A and B are shown apart, each in its own frame.
Chain A
Amino acid sequence: MQHLYKKIYANPEFHELEQKRGKFSWTLASITLVIYFSFILVIAFAPELFAKPIFSDSVITFGIPAGLSVIFLSFILTGIYVYRANKEFDQLSKDIIDQIKGDEV
């Protein structure tokens, strides 16, 4: 196995894939953290923003759709990640490994 690890590590396509995948997961992680901490910081610094009603005669405040959006976005972002990782990245990774294994035979 070690020998195979070395070969894969030396493969430029593998690094290209990992760069793409790394960029993708860090982008999604940053989006999540930015969304969440903006939500928290609004509550800490400017709670009155979330206290405004969404329509002039409504009792529903901006805070409620904002909070629910954080929940929905979390779910949607995980969905996007799983879809791309399970379809695209796993296939690319498998192709690289198969190719390296094939070269050995």
Chain B
Amino acid sequence: MNRIATLSSCFLLVLSASLWAAGSLDGELEKQSINPTAIIMFLAFVGATLGITYWAARRTKSTKDFYAAGGSISGFQNGLAIAGDYMSAASFLGISGLVFASGFDGLIYSIGFLVGWPIILFLLAERLRNLGKYTFADAVSYRLKPVPIRSLSACGTLAVVLLYLIAQMVGAGKLIQVLFGLEYFIAVIIVGILMIMYVTFGGMLATTWVQIIKAVLLLCGATFMAIMVMVKMDFSFERLFSTAIDIHSKGLDIMSPGGLVSDPVSAISLGMALIFGTAGLPHILMRFFTVPDAKEARKSVFYATGFIGYFYILTFIIGFGAIVYLVNNAQFIDPETGGIIGGNNMAAVHLSQAVGGEMFLGFISAVAFATILAVVSGLTLSGASAISHDLYASVIRKGEAKEGEEVKVSRIATVMLGIVAILLGIIFEKQNVAYMVGLAFAIAASVNFPILFLSMYWQQLTTRGAFVGGSIGLVTAVLCMILGPTIWVDILGNAEAIFPYKHPALFSITAAFIFIVLISKLDKSESAKNEAKAFEDQYVRSQTGLGAEGAVEH
């Protein structure tokens, strides 16, 4: 445990040095003066989570402890942890910022992000829990050949994890720069180091508790903010909305759908990416192995849906509250642009100051930081398990790896992923990363989801079909995204997009399903017959939980 002590003192050194350095203003973004509440709150969070990491490290002995917290998390705890994993800073700041900018349209995104959850519950959660062990690839390779299936799943996982990580790291760097007055690269390094510490030492148990604490803090903070908004409006939504309409430049238009979703193809494609992408996010699917059985897995989705839905309703109120309190308020307006300081994504942060003063601003800043830490930790753990459990143990060592060996590889992978995330975070500082989460969802929806879904529901699925079709889904999603308006036009500066739609999911998911089915049907090999035969056993196990991984007593 000395390593933790050494690392944490290193970390505190970095932090204090950077706080000191923050006195000189030389960054591009405008930095906030240091808010003592924010620093104290943040240090308290770091202290508490490192304490939990220490406690978790002592309990993390077996492979199962490391990957799945020993299967000992309750449905309620897991529901909170899922909410903590899913409610990223992007959804807190981004959606409230979207509501602030265009009103009703913000709600369209929140709803898309939420609706994936019932689908996961009805179709995937319990089967996944009953078939798998640590990663969703366990469930897919139950009857299919592990080497090709795990290689493909690991590619899908790592692509999603890295894209998501870059978006989070860049967001974290910028946010912390503004909130705490830290240099961008120092902020990215702090996030990277903390995340490496949580995951390498505390494994899934520490990651879960970081997510639970963060979810509780975020839900409390957002609730308080929404209540403060409504108190001043005498709890009348009519009054909130009419005040907002009076002062917003778009007037009455903020109450109805605007230009966010224009043509039907884009609308359906975005909807599919959000629903099936959520159902294919590896770090989310992994959370189902932390509960003891299918019963608790179901409960966790119920609680998660409740928390996430409640949270999105709050962001809607917060976004409208921000219109009421920030527009026309000289304190928060950037005189050069006429918009609010730091851009629309800072709406929730400024609102916290407007309704709760410096103290509450500090609290929300620290919560935003905690939010990023919790999300990147979950992502890193999931990426590391794809490397150690899927690639190393199954593909390279062909299932011969010893118990301790796999966890060791996983820890090394965590450190490597952490370093890669820090480097990518620094490289992408000045890049537009907004499309990356969208691309991550598209890949999750076009690779992970189709093979997972068909392996559970379609007896005729073969290894060849899943591998080829899944790869085609991956390539289609990436190509359409690169050739589409977001990257081809906005980033590469070409005049016209080769692929006309912003969201490729409708096409890439369809391509994946068509090729998986077609190639499985054409596959007349002996192994294909055996795989179809093995479906019966898989079916019984997935439905009854007989033979499924149980919980470990601590």
The answer to whether A and B come from one shared complex is yes
Residues of A within 8 A of B (CB): 1-2, 4-6, 8-9, 14, 18, 21, 25-26, 28-29, 32-33, 36-37, 39-41, 43-45, 47-48, 50-51, 58-61, 63-64, 67-68, 70-72, 74-75, 77-79, 81-82, 85-86, 90, 93, 97
Contact A5 B537 (CB under 8 A): yes
Q: Knowing that A41-B264, A59-B255 are A-B contacts, what are 16 other residue pairs whose CB atoms are under 8 Å apart, sorted by A's residue number?
A: A2-B537, A5-B546, A32-B119, A36-B275, A43-B257, A44-B264, A44-B268, A50-B256, A60-B255, A67-B104, A68-B313, A71-B313, A75-B302, A86-B298, A86-B299, A90-B294
Task: Give the nearest-CB partner of A94 in chain B.
Answer: B544
- Which residue from A2, A18, A79 sits with its C-beta under 8 Å from B543? A18
Given contacts A44-B263, A71-B114, contact A29 B119 (CB under 8 A): yes
CA distance A32 to B67 in the complex (A): 32
CA distance A40 to B312 in the complex (A): 17
Contact A25 B122 (CB under 8 A): yes
Given contacts A1-B546, A60-B237, A90-B295, contact A71 B268 (CB under 8 A): no
CA distance A85 to B545 in the complex (A): 13
User: How many positions in chain B have a CB within 8 Å of any CB in the partner chain?
Assistant: 54
Q: Give chain A residues whose Cβ lies under 8 Å from the Cβ of B395.
A: none
Q: Give chain A residues whose Cβ lies under 8 Å from the Cβ of B539.
A: 9
Task: Give the nearest-CB partner of A32 in chain B.
Answer: B118
Residue pairs across A and B with Cβ atoms less than 8 A apart, 11 shown, are A5-B536, A5-B547, A9-B539, A29-B122, A32-B115, A37-B268, A40-B108, A45-B264, A67-B111, A78-B121, A82-B298
Q: Which of A9, A61, A74: most chain B Cβ within 10 A?
A: A74
- Which residue from B108, B313, B543 sits with its C-beta under 8 Å from A43? B108
Interface residues in B243-299 by Cβ distance below 8 A to A read 245, 252, 255-257, 261-264, 266-268, 270-271, 275, 294-295, 298-299
Per-position binary interface string of chain B over residues 112-147, scored 1 when its CB falls under 8 Å from any chain A CB and 0 otherwise = 101101110111001000000000000000000000
B221 at the interface (CB under 8 A from A): no
CA distance A81 to B118 in the complex (A): 9
CA distance A97 to B121 in the complex (A): 23
Give, as a whole number of angstroms, the nearest-CB distance from B261 to chain A: 5
Contact A47 B256 (CB under 8 A): yes
Contact B301 A50 (CB under 8 A): no
CA distance A17 to B299 in the complex (A): 21
Contact A59 B118 (CB under 8 A): no
Q: Give chain B residues whose Cβ lies under 8 Å from the Cβ of A47.
A: 256-257
What's the dominant secondary structure at chain B's contact region? helix
- Which residue from B257, B305, B540, B544 sits with its C-beta under 8 Å from A50? B257
B541 at the interface (CB under 8 A from A): yes
CA distance A5 to B266 in the complex (A): 45
Give, as a whole number of angstroms, the nearest-CB distance from B509 to chain A: 14
Residues of B within 8 A of A (CB): 104, 107-108, 110-112, 114-115, 117-119, 121-123, 126, 237-238, 241-242, 245, 252, 255-257, 261-264, 266-268, 270-271, 275, 294-295, 298-299, 301-302, 305-306, 309, 312-313, 536-537, 539-541, 543-544, 546-547
Q: Give chain A residues whose Cβ lies under 8 Å from the Cβ of B264.
A: 41, 44-45
Q: Give chain B residues whose Cβ lies under 8 Å from the Cβ of A64.
A: 104, 107, 255
Contact B299 A71 (CB under 8 A): no
Give, as a whole number of angstroms, the nearest-CB distance from B505 to chain A: 13
Give, as a whole number of angstroms, the nearest-CB distance from B450 to chain A: 16
Task: Give the nearest-CB partner of B255 in chain A.
Answer: A61
Contact A70 B306 (CB under 8 A): no
Task: Give the nearest-CB partner of B264 in chain A.
Answer: A44
CA distance A71 to B147 in the complex (A): 40
Q: Give chain A residues whose Cβ lies under 8 Å from the Cβ of B312.
A: 71
- Which residue from A1, A5, A37, A71 sits with its C-beta under 8 Å from B271? A37
Give, as a whole number of angstroms, the nearest-CB distance from A66 to chain B: 9
CA distance A1 to B541 in the complex (A): 9
Q: Which of A37, A67, A90, A93: most chain B Cβ within 10 A?
A: A67
Contact A8 B540 (CB under 8 A): yes
- Which residue from A40, A67, A78 sits with its C-beta under 8 Å from B302? A78
CA distance A63 to B103 in the complex (A): 11
CA distance A95 to B539 in the complex (A): 18
Contact B301 A63 (CB under 8 A): no
CA distance A82 to B75 in the complex (A): 11
Contact A93 B544 (CB under 8 A): yes
Q: Which of B294, B544, B547: most chain A Cβ within 10 A?
A: B544
Q: Give chain B residues whose Cβ lies under 8 Å from the Cβ of A9.
A: 536-537, 539-540
Given contacts A45-B264, A47-B257, A86-B298, contact A74 B118 (CB under 8 A): yes
Contact A36 B115 (CB under 8 A): yes
CA distance A33 to B298 in the complex (A): 19
Contact B267 A6 (CB under 8 A): no
Contact A70 B111 (CB under 8 A): yes
Task: Give the nearest-CB partner of A4 in chain B.
Answer: B546
Give, as a whole number of angstroms, the nearest-CB distance from A72 to chain B: 7
Q: Give chain B residues whose Cβ lies under 8 Å from the Cβ of A18.
A: 543
